[in-house]
Amino acid sequence: MKDLSLPLDAFVRAVGVDHEVPHAMLLGAGASVSSAIPSAWQCIWEWKRKIFLTNNPGLEKQFSELTLLSAQRGIQDWLDKQGGYPALDSHEEYCFYIEKCFPVGQHRRQFFADMIRNAKPHHGYKLLSLLAEAGIVTSCWTMNFDGLVAKAGGDYDITPIEVGMDCQHRAFRQPRRGELLCVSLHGDYRYDELKNTDGELQKQEAELRDALIKESRDATLIVIGYSGRDASLMKALNDAYSQPGSGALYWCGYGDHIATPVKHLLGAARAANRTAYFVPTHGFDDILSRLALHCLKDDRQDKARALLAATKQGSDICDSFYVDELPCAALIKSNAFEIECPSELLEFSLNDWPEKPWSWLDDLCKGRNFVAVPFKGKLLAIGLIDDIKEAFGNRIENSIERTPVTDADLTIENGTVNSLMLRALLRVFSQTTGIEADNRKLLWQSEPDRVKPFDGTQCHIHRAAVVSLRFFGDRNQLVLKPTVIVKNKDGSDLPKDVSSTLKMEVLGYEHNSKFNKALDLWRKLLFPQKGTNEFEFPANCGSTFRFKVRSAPCFASIGTRQNERPIQIGDGMRPHIKQVGVNVPEPLLQFSNKQATGFVTDPHPLRGLANNQPFDFGLTSRGLMPAVRIGVVCPTKESAQLARYLQQANVRQQPNNSEADYLIDYPGFQSAFGLPVELPQHGDAGWSVCPEPMDTGNELKTCLQAAQQITRSVDSLVAANKPNVVLVFIPERWSRFRVYRDENEGFDLHDFVKAYCIQKGIATQFLEEHTLASQQQCRVWWWLALAFYAKAMRTPWALASLDPNAAFVGLGFTVDRYASRGHQTVLGCSHLYNSQGQGLQFRLSKIENPIMRNRNPHMSYDDARQVAESIRQLFFESQSRLPPRVVLHKQTPFLRDEKQGLLDGLSGVDSIDLLEVQVDSALRYVSSVQTTKTINGKRVVGFDEDNFPVRRGTVVKIGSRRALVWCHGVTDSVKSGWKYFQGKRHIPSPLIVKRHAGDTDLETIAAELLGLSKMDWNSADMYSKLPATIDSSRQIARIGAKLQRFGPVSYDYRLFM
């Protein structure tokens, strides 16, 4: 019934235009969630958990997070098996469970008394008081026991008139100017017995119902935070709106789902010719913020803005990173060279600008002794003034001026000044014999290093280097990253797929020695002199524009807190050590012991499973979740083949020799996870045959048909068998249906099916035909078995070493790249993780006013504050409190307004860390080993490159608030004395971490990133290259963009895996 809904912005305008009409608010428990009062839903589940745990002692740790679907299912399954409990989500749950949990009335009163004793009204209630001051809201009716309306009103220029069961006559008096009628519909347990059980609800005083009916006749009623579960109150509302009247009804729901009782109420109001709408919202605080900013004027609007921006003093601390002086355990060599850039530039204006200034300037500069770039309506240039005048002629407006270059100009790595300097440097280097440049970032040798045939073409492979300018360690740095480029014999570019394939063949296994050799080649070519090399631009012209580059790269000394013997560094090496760092130990994971009586730790996920039991094994040992049931969707042709393959689920598999440094034997599903896996046979109810897609002659339509046939098969399977996980098999011949792209739209079969199934709460696992023939079946079965277990809403392991007072949030975004510029939908995802690294709830929200920088979306102040408010709400929903410390991870910078909005929205949190985390695109380091040689009878200590890359957990400080962290690197193998490097490919890229707010020490931040990199249950790898906060929020945002509904609606994130 779409006509029942009114968009949120239209609702706000409706209240604004009717601001002289008295408005009443009816508030449910949802209004108080952000003030640390649990909602009715939370209360029900808390009572369920208490009943469950007092009957099943010892499972407290596994059921600490009620928002996890696995915890809810475990509790509900147990309750259902006991018998005598109401059905899930039935209207009698609230009344039943509070009496079942606390049969004694005094204990019920104490439960709520403990809950609300320290409750403080969050800003929604305070803004409600400002609206009451302005006379827009004249009465507030609530089913809550917390008294937050009156408590907030005491700080404003209004007089709250409290009405309860003992003084119901006050409800009929007309509020005077400056008064706010506060009516408690369920009585006040401070004076009477608690009136919130079903028998008591049926006896609500008729006077209060009549007063509400009278109020709704002429006043506009706004309902917020109320589910409509109380039959007596809904009857009163139906009675009120079935009668004629001028008062409108706006039912503000959390998300866009309209409950059946609400639909009936709105229908009854419409039948009586009353204005009645459902308004989808993001919660009480967000609604009141929007109403206050739109409806209030002058001083009161200023008060509202000040209230929303009332960041706790000290929450915007942004301390510098610090690394202790520790014994040196390792020395690592970078590909960065200190550089001194020209201290001034030329600046001038044009009176006639071309349509595309960058490409026009590139063409104009070719063959001339200058380079130039556009900047804020002017041009910046380096070169000879006479050449500039000759090239631009009468386009130059006024004179050419010299302007100084500041450090701030060069700290912006993708900034205009940085780009100008880089173009000049490339011109300088290309004047060296045998070197060419692309004028942007690439150098290459003119002569090919080798010629390789590919598909009938002689491909010329040239040694190359990507050049970039960075600013760290209080110095400008020239970074050289060796690579190769592939060209045709005549120097023209080859197709991208050909080039990528050959580059991977050359660079795919470029380890330390090869990288170091390539870096030395470029270092000797570009910086032939020891010490400092000076370059004039243009060369040999007496120019004042000069670059000075040190020929030796920067080294970093890595300290350790372990009892390792420190290495000795000679005096000749010390001047090259420009950075210091530390190695952080590998985080420990937590598993259950085999008796399910306690927990054990192991840094290795697969060894921990094989030697122990999954973290939540207590559920299995007590028979609460005794098996994992798999359903299968597969075409007829491959059904027999797949059925045979799945029979190997409990067959032991051994790793190949090349994988023995990480993989251990796959012992079979039951041995690994401590419970059986139920796999169907072709013809069983758990096996759904998917029809073959028909070629429609339209590629996109055929792809959509394939997806729809899979989803229909999933529906029939789930209806017949109710599996925990649905396995979707994709044969090779369906590969052409997987992805479709053109200039107008894109399609991804995997994401389409995932999005469809997520909305129905169905976990899916894709399996492609080529996997069945893989020579790495030990790896395949570990990955597949782990996916089955985790997607069945089970918990294989948790982190043992994170700050117990911390919670983590990943912020991810997705952009509709097919929409026209300025009309792109940006979807943001906030995904919570607890201190055990478990992914909890997430929230998808449309970014209303995105700011695009370098094609990446950022948030305005208002968007950021609203996202932070939703995060705040998630904390209360999952933990009924704000954690003392919140850490936000994001892959793009926090803009100033974005940062302030997040800090303001998270007011009340004691410590907030805002961390920008992304893979560094240019910096690479080579690990080294100490060597001892005898030269002329003397013992000489030196360093050579190590055979293994930089150790995982290495942290290097490169600026006051920037550091490099190696999540990808060498670590200890499962075999004693061996080392393990995941993937065994080229040297690893570090993460660059930039602090935008917070004061947590660097080692703690790095340890948290390392720990969270081990929490991707969709992979049995030792770790991921990014923390799970970043990966999951990004993936949820991508697939979430295809959901039909988003906003407050939340799903278990394992459905997205």
Rounded Cα–Cα distance for residues 420 and 838 (Å)? 46
Q: Where are the domains of the chain?
A: 2-36+120-308, 38-118, 336-550, 624-791, 801-919+990-1056
CATH homologous superfamily for the domain 2-36+120-308: TPP-binding domain (3.40.50.1220)
Record the pTM. Answer: 0.87
Rounded Cα–Cα distance for residues 932 and 436 (Å)? 40
Rounded Cα–Cα distance for residues 363 and 354 (Å)? 12
**CA–CA distances in Å: residue 773 to residues 643, 664, 1030:** 14, 20, 33
- pLDDT band for position 71 (50/70/90)? confident
Tell me if the bond preceding 538 is cis, omega within 30° of 0: yes
Whether the per-residue pLDDT at 287 is higher than 50: the answer is yes
Rounded Cα–Cα distance for residues 242 and 891 (Å)? 53
Looking at 63-72, 294-303, 718-727, 989-998, which range is the least confident one?
63-72
**CA–CA distances in Å: residue 242 to residues 246, 268, 279, 639, 734:** 12, 6, 20, 59, 57
- pLDDT band for position 986 (50/70/90)? confident
pLDDT tens per residue, range 418-471 = 899 999 999 999 887 789 998 889 999 999 999 988 888 889 999 999 999 998
Rounded Cα–Cα distance for residues 579 and 333 (Å)? 10
Residues 265, 240 contacting (CB under 8 angstroms):
no
φ, ψ (nearest 5 deg) of residue 1011: -60, -45
pLDDT tens per residue, range 232-250 = 788 889 988 998 888 899 9
Residues 1003, 954 contacting (CB under 8 angstroms):
no
- 407-415 contact pairs (CB < 8 A, 24+): 407/471, 410/341, 410/469, 410/471, 410/476, 411/471, 413/468, 413/469, 413/470, 413/471, 414/854
Looking at 779-793, 920-934, 984-998, which range is the least confident one?
920-934
Point out which residues pair with 806 in neighbouring strands: 885
Q: Six-digit token pair at 354?
A: 């071309």
Looking at 158-167, 389-398, 689-698, which range is the least confident one?
158-167
Same topology for domains 2-36+120-308 and 624-791, yes or no?
A: yes
Residue 589 amino acid letter: L
- The angle at the Cα of 64, spanning 59 to 69, to the nearest 5 degrees, equals 100
CATH architecture group of domain 624-791: 3-Layer(aba) Sandwich (3.40)
- pLDDT band for position 956 (50/70/90)? very high
Q: 772: helix, coil or strand?
A: helix
Region 209-213 average pLDDT: 76
pLDDT tens per residue, range 754-813 = 989 988 889 999 999 999 999 999 999 999 999 999 999 999 999 997 888 888 999 888
Residues 601, 815 contacting (CB under 8 angstroms):
no
CATH number of the 801-919+990-1056 domain:
3.30.420.10
Q: Six-digit token pair at 523?
A: 């270092």
How many residues does the structure list for the chain?
1057
pLDDT above 70 as % of the chain: 93
Rounded Cα–Cα distance for residues 1000 and 942 (Å)? 37
- pLDDT band for position 174 (50/70/90)? low
Which residues does 944 contact at the CB level (< 8 Å), separation at least 6? 928, 929, 931
